[in-house]
Amino acid sequence: MDAVASGAKRGATDDMRRWLASRKPLGLLTLIAGGNVADRGQIRPILTARGHQVTECDTLSEVVEKLNAEPFQLIVVDWADPEPATEVCKQVRKHFQGQDAVILAVCPAEMVHSSDKLIDAGVNDFVIRPMDSNLLSARLGFLEQWAHNLMERVWAEEALRESEEEFRDLFESSPIGIYQSTPEGRILMANPQMARMLGYRSFEEMAAVDLEEGGFWPSYPRERFKMQLERDGEIRGFEAAWTCRDGRTLFVRESARVVRDGTGNVIYYTGAVEDITDQRVAEEALVESEQRYALAMNGAKDGLWEWDLISDTMHLSPRWKQMLGYEEEEFPDAPGSWFDLVHSEDVDALRAELATHLDGLTPHFEHEHRMQHQDGTWRWMLSRGVAVRGKDGIPRRMAGSQSDTTERRRAEEELLHHALHDRLTGLPNRALLMDRLRRATALANRRQDYTVGVIFLDLDRFKLINESLGHELGEKILVQVAQRLESCMPQGDTVARVGGDKFALLLEGIESMDEARATADAIQVQLTQAIWVGGSDVFVTASMGIACSTQGYDRAADMMRDAEVAMYKAKTKGRACHAIFDPSMRERAVAWMQIESYLRHAVQREELRLYYQPIVSLATGNIVGFEALVRWQHPEMGLISPSKFVHIAEETGLIVPIGMWVLREACLQLQRWRQTFSDYANLTINVNLSGRQFSQQNLVKQIEQVLKETDIDPGALRLEITESVLMEDRNTALKALRQLKELNVKLSIDDFGTGYSSFSHLELFPVDSLKIDRSFINRMGVNGENTEIVDTIVNLGRTLGLTVVAEGVETEGQLNQLRTSSCELAQGYLFSKPMKRQDVEAILLRNPQW
């Protein structure tokens, strides 16, 4: 049967059911068959009024024609003569071949005696003419009901026939096997598909073969099937493996019902069977491929395991055991012994992962956990596997592999560590610090009682140290500084290296700003200890800036920036100290940070100026020379003092070109003055040399070049070098000093007394003079207090044949003291502040005497 036809049939039956359900009287299709038009005209309105669809006809042949055209339900036979009436009734009955329509005969009273004939012909009821309309209505009501009942029966029969046909079609052509069998499995009836599935050409062929009881049914599942079926009355989706006629295995899914007799005895089973062999083969291939996948994931170095979930036994490959340091026979094959070795923190997660896979929620099982090796160490193991499921979807066993991922994880952790830590010092880097600072500031914003501080620390003059001592030693110093910083911090607080010689300290949960300040002080104290590297002591100081969450920060980056700004402030305060951020610093600091970039152009743009401060002979009171001191005439910031930019120039290396410019300029100037002012033909000029210049390879050559170009007497040039520069790398310093001496220039130790081993090494250096640091001069009181050091230096200098200069002389008292001590030369505000070329020339003209 094709689908469209069967659909249409089912549609007709559906209509009927719908009508039966609603029980609405349906207008009957009624045929009035009568010889007399007037008579038919009398009955017709009554029928129409009752909702009948009326058709009329007046000959026998017409009756047959009408009946063939429409399925009439009520036929009114209205003839005055019994003959044609009987004939019509016979025709009607013949047409319907059963009592499918109701026949009402309308006849004159005299025809009643022939009623038997009419009844034999199939009439259901009579109405006598002349008609009483009430009586007719009552009769019609009854007949209508009768017709309806008939119709229902017809439709019901039709529906049954339809469904039987459907079933037959289905039975014959179904892709599903349908059968009836005895409880023992003897097939009573089966459709062709059922026979085909088991390898027979037809049911007849199948029935002809003497099948033993349950012949195609393996006995164990058959028993289970029977038990379940008879207990529940029906069974759905039961999967079994049958044996076909040719011995092939047929995988089936079966639904069945038990049919019992009135006393409850089982008569037969009826069932529908679906061939799922293809599906099963595909599934098994999948499982196998998954197993193969699991095994393929691993090389020979991986261990293998197989777990029978039904018996809860496990097979572990020798390699599996070996990976954990066990010999084959040493280790029991049991799931328990696996789990026993898993780290207690990991075992729950492992079990959970297994359970999810066994529940069918993950396609593969995969878990990484720590396991204890026989030697006691913990190893990371990656276990992978897949469950093998039964037809019911229930996992039967699991198979998989295990690989040792300890090394891979270690490498990963190392990578992660590197991403967040500084390689040299091992400290957290800027990224990690910022992450922690972000969390800390967020917490500080939520909690009133929680305060966070940041100390930004920058080593003073580190570039200098790095270049004079070499990169390697520089790094060693950084490592030691890092250790000291850590030692100043409470456990858990972060010390990070955020740049070359820049560190940041994160103080979490501090009481107040005072605590941050105290930490900064502690760091300063720690750093006063000499750092022993490369066979000598090195001293470092640091400038620190502090910002604190009490100052109200939303963003970690802002807090960090302000700590850095405060650090720059500390630098300008003279280094080796700390500054606490206040908002007024911000602008200045920004300008300050710009200095570096501007400074790069200062030489080319001719923004540098030289100022000169006279050096006076205390014996004669005459000016004997000048110290050249650089200034920076910045177009926007005005005159900038060297204390503000020289250290930047040193740290960036810009001091090299700046220093050369100063030297050339000073020498040119000296030459002019010597020529212009006859009284000052022996004038000398002091030029400061920074440590950075001092470590320049070609310094001596460059100076020689300048001397040549400016044509000055080398003996008129005095190079000032601070004691600490000489001490930082004595051997190199010594070499350079000797070379400079060969040029016949004079050498002076600047800031003498502030260095670390002032007196002991003095003899070593081929220097010509000492400049007593102004802090000693400063301390000399009016009444001769604190003169001992100055006296000692002066005496020492005289013994070694060195000229001694006192700098920073501000008062008459100091001048008198120095005279008493027989100090030769002096320099200071008392005589003059550093001044411009024009002012110097004015003074030289005046030829003053002190």
Would you tell me which residues interact with Ca ion (CB under 5 A)? 688, 720, 750-751
* Min separation Cβ 774 and ligand C2E, Å: 6
Query: Alpha-carbon distance 180 to 176, whole Å?
Result: 13
Which is nearest to 78 in space by CA: 53, 120, 52, 111? 111
- Least Å from the CB of residue 569 to ligand C2E: 18
User: Which positions ≥6 away from 59 have C-beta within 8 Å?
Assistant: none
Element (H, E) at 719: strand 717-722
**Beta-strand pair 177-181/125-129:** unpaired
- Name the residue among 36, 40, 38 with its Cα closest to residue 104: 40
CB of 625 to ligand C2E, least distance (A): 14
* 614 contact, one of Ca ion, ligand C2E, none, CB 5-8 Å limit per kind: none
User: Closest separation between CB of residue 776 and ligand C2E, Å?
Assistant: 12
State the nearest-atom distance from the C-beta of 519 to Ca ion, in Å.
33
100 vs 720, which CB is nearer to Ca ion? Answer: 720
Q: What residues line the site for ligand C2E (CB under 6 A)? A: 613, 629-630, 641-643, 646, 655, 659, 662, 688, 690, 720, 750-751, 774, 808-810, 828-829, 834
CB of 654 to Ca ion, least distance (A): 19
192 touches, from Ca ion, ligand C2E, none (C-beta below 5 to 8 Å by class):
none
Of Ca ion, ligand C2E, none, which one does residue 646 interact with (CB within 5 to 8 Å by kind)? ligand C2E
Between 94 and 779, CB nearer to Ca ion: 779
Nearer to Ca ion, 508 or 751 (CB): 751
Give the nearest distance from C-beta 615 to Ca ion in angstroms: 10
From the list ligand C2E, Ca ion, none, pick the one residue 500 interacts with, judged by a Cβ distance below 5 to 8 Å according to partner type.
none
CA–CA dist 624, 682 (Å, integer): 8
Closest CA to 426 of 495, 332, 366: 495
Q: In the complex with ligand C2E, which residue's Cβ is closer, 589 or 662?
A: 662
CA distances, 667 to each of 686, 709, 747 (Å): 10, 9, 15
E-strand ranges in 567-706 read 578-580, 608-617, 623-634, 638-640, 684-688
Closer CB to ligand C2E, residue 458 or residue 750?
750
Nearest approach, Cβ of residue 771 and ligand C2E (Å): 7
Distance from the Cα of residue 240 to its chain's centroid: 48
The partner in contact with residue 630, picked from Ca ion, ligand C2E, none with C-beta cut-offs of 5 to 8 angstroms by kind, is ligand C2E
The CA–CA distances, whole Å, from 475 to 204, 298, 460, 846 equal 98, 45, 15, 55
Q: Compute how many other C-beta atoms are within 10 angstroms of the C-beta atom of residue 827.
A: 24
Q: How far is the CB of 779 from ligand C2E (least distance, A)?
A: 13
Conformational region of residue 213, where left means phi above 0, alpha means psi within -120 to 50, and beta covers everything else: beta
| Closer residue to Ca ion in complex, CB, 28/689 | 689
Sequence-distant (≥ 6) Cβ neighbours of residue 211 within 8 angstroms = 185, 186, 187
Rounded CA gap, 693 and 736, in Å? 11
**Which among Ca ion, ligand C2E, none contacts residue 828 (Cβ within 5 to 8 A by kind)?**
ligand C2E
Judged by CB, which is closer to ligand C2E: 495, or 629?
629
For ligand C2E, give the closer residue by CB, 549 or 690: 690
Site of tokens 């911000």:
586
Nearer to Ca ion, 565 or 624 (CB): 624
Write down the least CB distance from residue 573 to ligand C2E, Å: 14
Closer residue to Ca ion (CB): 501 or 751: 751
Angle of helix 37-49 relative to helix 133-173, nearest 10 degrees?
A: 70
**Binds 829: which of Ca ion, ligand C2E, none (CB < 5-8 Å by kind):** ligand C2E
Q: Which does 834 bind (CB under 5 to 8 A by kind): ligand C2E, Ca ion, none?
A: ligand C2E
Q: Which is nearer to Ca ion, 229 or 767 (CB)?
A: 767
**Among ligand C2E, Ca ion, none, residue 755 binds (CB under 5-8 Å by kind):** none
Nearest-5° angle of CA 267, CA 268, CA 269? 145
Listing DSSP states for 482-521 in one string gives HHHHHHTS-TT-EEEEEETTEEEEEEEEESSHHHHHHHHH
| DSSP symbol at 811 | S
Asked if residue 367 lies in contact with residue 356, where contact means CB atoms within 8 angstroms, the answer is no
641 touches, from ligand C2E, Ca ion, none (C-beta below 5 to 8 Å by class): ligand C2E
Give buried/exposed letters for 188-213 (b at 16+ CB in 10 A, else e).
eebbbbbbbbbbbeebeebbeeebee
Partner from ligand C2E, Ca ion, none contacting 252, C-beta within 5 to 8 A by type: none
> Taking the complex as a whole, how short is the minimal distance between the CB of residue 752 and Ca ion, in angstroms?
8
